[in-house]
Amino acid sequence: KLIATSSATVADVLARGADAGFWISSVDRISIHRSTSIGTGASGFGIVVPRSSAFTVADSYAQGDTGLHIDRSTDSVVDRSRLHSPASTGRALHLQWLNVSFTARASTMTGGSASSAVQIGAANDGLLTFSSVTISQAVTGFSVDALAAGARFLAGPLSFSGLSSGATALHFIAGTH
C-alpha cells in the first residue's frame, strides 16, 4: 500500500494481495511501469486508486475482480497496459465517480462475460479519452453513467473482440452525455 506520499515510481514488480495488488491512496505523482498487479481475493482489485493525482500505469498488467478501480482522482493514465477480470461479473476498469481527466491508450481491457469491460460512474468530469483501446469478453464494452456538466467522453479508435452474444458496445445509462 502507498498512502499519502508524493512522487513515487514503481517498476518491474509483481504485487499480489487479497484486497489488491497495489493500493494507492492520496498519492500525488505515482507511476507504475512494467509491473504485474493481482488481487487474489474473491473481490480483490488489481490496482485501487482513491483520491490521488497524476497516476500512470504503463506497460503493465492488472488483474482482479476489477482490474483497475479509480475513485475521486485526477489526471489518471493507462498506457500500453492490460486490465483484466477473470470473474464473470468483473470489470477491467471502473472509474467510480468524481474523477477528473482520464486517458487510456494502446491498451486492452477484458471484462467478465456478464458485465461491462469499462464502467464509468456518475459525475466524472474533465476529458475522458480512450484511444486505440481493445475491449474483449464482456456483455457491454462501455457502460457510461451521467457525467458532470461540461465533461467530455472521447473514444476512438476502438476494437471489440470476443464480446458475449448480443453484447452492447457502448451503453449510456442516464443523464446528458
List, for residues 66-83, the tens digit of each pLDDT value. Answer: 999 999 999 999 999 999
Distance between CA atoms of residues 21 and 67, nearest Å: 10
Q: Name, in order, each residue with C-beta under 8 angstroms of 119's C-beta and a sequence gap of 6 or more.
A: 91, 93, 94, 95, 142, 143
Distance between CA atoms of residues 33 and 132, nearest Å: 19
pLDDT at 2 over 80: no
- Per the model's pLDDT, the better-predicted residue between 175 and 19 turns out to be 19
- 76-103 as b/e: b if 16+ CB within 10 A: bbbbebbbbbebeebbbbbbbbbbbbbb
Residue 162 C-alpha cell reads as: 470476443
pLDDT at 39 over 90: yes
pLDDT tens, position by position, 118-136: 999 999 999 999 999 999 9
Q: Which of 14, 124, 125, 2 is nearest to 63 (CA)?
A: 14
Q: How far, in Å, are 51, 91, 156, 172 from residue 46 at the CA level?
A: 17, 11, 25, 26
**pLDDT value at position 147?**
94
pLDDT at 33 over 90: yes
Q: Name, in order, each residue with C-beta under 8 angstroms of 104's C-beta and a sequence gap of 6 or more.
A: 77, 78, 79, 93, 129, 130, 131, 133
